[in-house]
A and B are shown apart, each in its own frame.
Chain A
Amino acid sequence: MNILVVLIPVSLILGAIGLVAFLWTVRSDQYDDDKGNAARILLDDD
């Protein structure tokens, strides 16, 4: 059972990294134009 001492923090930290990444996308206006972002992937410049 000692492995839990490692595994639980690891799972929490991984989850927190995901959460922080998501909060960053929210703060940098990445959800303001969902249709445009879907279309932009087809542009081959930049």
Chain B
Amino acid sequence: MTSACPACDVAPAAGALAQGSGLQFSLPTIHCAACIGKIERGLAGLIGVTGVRVNLSLKRLSVTGPVAATQVQDALTVLGFEAYPLDVAALSTSRDDTGRALLTRMAVAGFAMMNVMLLSVAVWSGATDATRDMFHLISAAITMPVVAYAGQPFFRNAWTALRVGKLNMDAPISLAIALAAGMSLYETLNSGEHAYFDAALALIFFLLIGRFLDHKTRMNARSAARELSALEVHTAERVVDGRARTVNAANLEVGDVVLVAAGARVPVDGVLLDDCALLDRAILTGETAAVDASRDALLQAGEINLAAPFHLRAVAVGEDTSLRRMAAMVETAENARNSYTALADRAAALYAPLVHLLSLAAFVGWYAFTQDIRLSLNIAVAVLIITCPCALGLAVPAVSTAAISRLFSRGILVKHATALERLAEVDHIVFDKTGTLTLPSVDVPDTLDAKDRAILKALAQASQHPMSKAVVRALDDADVAHLRALSEEAGSGISAMAGAQSVKLGRGAWLGADFSGFGYRRGDAPAVAITATETLRAGVGEALAGFDLPCEVVTGDSAAPAHALARQLDLPIRWDARPEDKLSHLDDLAAQGRRVLMVGDGLNDTAALAHSHASIAPASALDASRTAADVVVLKDSFADLPLVLAVARATHMLSTQNFAIATVYNFIAVPVAAAGYVTPLVAALAMSLSSITVILNAQRMRWIK
């Protein structure tokens, strides 16, 4: 990252302040006009704010003006909205130029189509001779430049595919457009009776609508996925001359001393410089138990510091960290996935040569019969137009657009273009355990009474430590006690006064107890141990009941927790699996002809996610895992997972039905066209009718349960 102002590199917030430019926030809870009004009015009064704009579709807020992110966030909290600042650099704020270009082309094609259709009405209702020729000429003058401009996306795609010796849906579309326009121009100049200008434009207009919708849904899903990365903190505390300074994690160098705060993630691979540390390695290995490290131990990027802040000396940074190397492994695995042929392309490979042969046959047949090259060409063009590349081109985009927006409204992001098609073929599901099926939790002893629970919850709420957050979740239904003099001692725990008694939550040694884990102590009573454990993620039960496929669990955790989960869920389980073991297990299943869906979150799952036939990751997953996954579930609950498979199968079914509808049209229309009975009016009617049928059929996606 380069910047004109050197101070901005040190403190990203200063950069935003100096430029007075946009701050972006994610507002997951906004949903209506009242929210927009409340936020925009509420923030407009804040000192320094020059502009506020809420985007309800993206659930995002942008604020301009010289104001600090924390001020805005505080103001939003007062207004009663959850807000998370987004890293503007990670969002890549560049506008959606492709979408805009498609929309403009669509508008131009639509304008031209309406006008040419209007002029054609005169011809259809019986204009002859000079009048007809004039109408045709005006139509040609409108059509030719519009085809050259608005048809570009199809011509370009078709050319790209043809150059590598492949046929896609755009090849017959391009040929139909070009031939229809070219032939009509020739006919017009020779005072011919039939011109297909309106058909050529209608083809472009309808297909551009499909392209635009498809692009729009994918953009929404992609920008939501980018937002997840933008939520993560990409800064680290570099210690120079005993003072810590916040720097961008990408700017750390080998040999730097880095301070890792309690509850923070280790930013680079490094050697521990303090005597001891307690780390959570779940995201790297799947282990639930915390790991003790002593001086000179090698720590890996991605581990979470559970205890006191510690220092480490960086030994590998940036692309060399184990985290990044794993991500690189994912990229190689992903190439295999990109070679999957989409349904539409497979259909095109069958359909395109067939249509071209039919059209050629019609030309040759009529030429042999009449010796009239112009008439034969006209008939061949009619066959090309009537075979409805329009319905075929819309068959898949119409359905996948409906499917992706259906899932998006349930908080499920479909990231990969062929993800739904691959999900529909899945016949075996492999789950990761830690972080996917289970979430870290704590065991609050039953011996604590309601008063203790209330105090414990109040203490835990005061801290951002992962253990404290787990305590708050575990005490979901408890009351919150009123405490005074709350103070957090970094790495040890939190203390406060409840009435006249002092209360503490923290490490055993700090409480004066004989256990080493976490505990709670009120006054002089003996300390109570709070052990780390794990609970099932919400909705896992419903999800497993909803799947009609064999499921199994593969975890990097040890035997005891694995068995406990296996008993609870009644699923086969493999434990102590390293990332390579997960991969080889997937390979074994693939060798048996299984198509595996992998559901996982950690770094140890990343390679497996990229390698499996299809993959799903929760939003809490590591950045690399989310990148590798086809589908990201934004909600905490997994209850909607079976819906993903149901929608994927419905997508496959409806797409196939749409192809069938288009084929039936062709069966009826092609003989009519080949017999020479198709006039431009019939072609226009058939094209609109088949396109509308296909789009209506796709809307049945709404009722998929």
Contact = CB atoms under 8 A, between A and B. Distances in A.
Interface of A: 1, 8, 11-12, 15-16, 18-19, 22-23, 26, 29, 31-36, 39-43, 45
Given A35-B56, A35-B57, A26 B111 contact: no
Given A39-B36, A40-B33, A33 B111 contact: no
A6 B57 CA distance: 45
* Nearest 5 CB-CB pairings of A with B: A36-B56, A39-B33, A42-B33, A19-B111, A35-B56
B103 A26 contact: yes
Given A39-B32, A39-B56, A15 B37 contact: no
B226 to A, nearest CB: 15
Contact of A8 (B58, B95, B96, B138): B138
Main secondary structure of the interface of A (DSSP, over half): helix
B100 A33 contact: no
Contacts of B95: 29
B54 A36 contact: yes
Nearest to A31: B103
A41 B33 CA distance: 8
B131 interface: yes
Interface in B1-47: 32-33, 36-37, 41
Interface string B117-150: 0110000000000010000001000100000000
B55 interface: yes
A32 B55 CA distance: 8
Contacts of B57: 32-36
A42 B31 CA distance: 13
Contact of A15 (B36, B96, B115, B131): B115
A40 B103 CA distance: 23
Given A26-B103, A43-B37, A11 B55 contact: no
Contacts of A39: 32-33, 36, 56
Given A36-B36, A36-B56, A39-B33, 12 more contacts: A15-B115, A16-B111, A22-B111, A23-B104, A26-B107, A29-B95, A35-B57, A36-B55, A36-B57, A39-B32, A40-B36, A41-B33
B107 A22 contact: yes
A39 B58 CA distance: 14
Contacts of A41: 33
A43 B36 contact: yes
Contacts of B115: 11-12, 15
B114 interface: yes
B99 to A, nearest CB: 8
A34 B111 CA distance: 22
A29 B100 CA distance: 9
B55 A33 contact: yes
B360 interface: no
11 contacts: A1-B131, A11-B115, A11-B118, A12-B142, A15-B111, A23-B104, A26-B103, A31-B103, A33-B56, A36-B54, A45-B41
Contacts of A29: 95
Contacts of A42: 33
Contacts of B56: 33, 35-36, 39
Contacts of A31: 103
B358 interface: no
Contacts of B36: 36, 39-40, 43
B304 to A, nearest CB: 36
B108 interface: yes
B576 to A, nearest CB: 48
A26 B212 CA distance: 13
Interface in B38-96: 41, 54-58, 95-96
Nearest to B118: A11
Contacts of B55: 32-33, 36
Contacts of B100: 26
Nearest to A36: B56
Contact of A43 (B33, B96, B111, B114): B33
Contacts of A43: 33, 36-37
A1 B132 CA distance: 12
Given A1-B131, A33-B58, A39-B56, A19 B107 contact: yes
A29 to B, nearest CB: 8
B32 to A, nearest CB: 6
A19 B108 contact: yes
Contacts of B32: 39
A26 to B, nearest CB: 5
Interface in B641-677: none
A11 B121 CA distance: 14
Nearest to A29: B95
Contacts of B37: 43, 45
B33 A23 contact: no
B1 to A, nearest CB: 26
A45 B96 CA distance: 30
A42 B111 CA distance: 31
A31 B108 CA distance: 17
Contacts of A40: 33, 36
B33 A15 contact: no
A16 B114 CA distance: 11
A12 to B, nearest CB: 6
Contacts of A15: 111, 114-115
Nearest to B101: A26
B118 to A, nearest CB: 6
B491 to A, nearest CB: 45
A29 B115 CA distance: 27
Interface string B520-549: 000000000000000000000000000000
Contacts of A36: 36, 54-57
A14 B371 CA distance: 45
Contacts of A19: 107-108, 111
A42 B114 CA distance: 33
A15 to B, nearest CB: 5
Contacts of A45: 37, 41
Contacts of A22: 107, 111
A19 to B, nearest CB: 4
Nearest to A18: B111
A35 B100 CA distance: 18
Nearest to A19: B111
A11 B142 CA distance: 13
A12 B116 CA distance: 10
Contacts of A35: 56-57
A40 B36 CA distance: 8
A7 to B, nearest CB: 10
A42 B38 CA distance: 13
Interface in B597-626: none
Contact of B104 (A11, A26, A33): A26
